[in-house]
Amino acid sequence: MVGVSQLMDNANKILDAAESMRVAGHKGSDWSILVGSEGTIHMVSGSDWPLDSLRAHHGATQAYRVVQQDDQIQVEGKDERRAIVIRSHPPNHLLKLLLPERRDYHF
């Protein structure tokens, strides 16, 4: 269970950082983030390699891919045995949850 929580924890931190960049006005590009066994971090921009291949090629224990499409960010994470995908909600998602869809028609 430790591996899953570390993979999820890192993916959440990466998603938070990517969302902060989006809020600050930076246009997203696709990034792959590789974490080595001693905690070293290697970032690759725009790679079209599958995460497993990229992780193996660089000898990383974990690999993450950050993709931004429109107002949504997706982080995919993989290690030797596990894979996860998490996504952000578009900025207006919270408003949709807080404000019921209601149409008042007045004639």
Q: What is the pLDDT of residues 96-105, one digit of tens each?
A: 666 666 666 5
Percent of the chain whose pLDDT exceeds 70: 79
The pLDDT of residue 12 is above 60: yes
Q: In the chain, what is the greatest distance between 2 CA atoms, to the nearest angstrom?
A: 69
Q: What is the average per-residue pLDDT within 40-64?
A: 94
Mean of the per-residue pLDDT values of the chain: 85
Cβ–Cβ < 8 Å for 28, 9:
no
| CA distances for 72 relative to 26, 29, 69, 89, 92, angstroms | 13, 12, 5, 6, 11
Q: What is the pLDDT of residue 97?
A: 62
Confidence band for 4, pLDDT divided at 50, 70 and 90: low
Tokens found for residue 21: 């960049």
* 3, amino acid identity: G
Q: What is the pLDDT of residue 78?
A: 95
Cβ–Cβ < 8 Å for 74, 87:
yes
CA nearest to 51, candidates 27, 69, 19, 75: 75
**Cα–Cα distance between 23 and 35 in angstroms, integer?**
25
Residue the block writes with tokens 């499409």? 69
Q: What is the pLDDT of residue 5?
A: 86
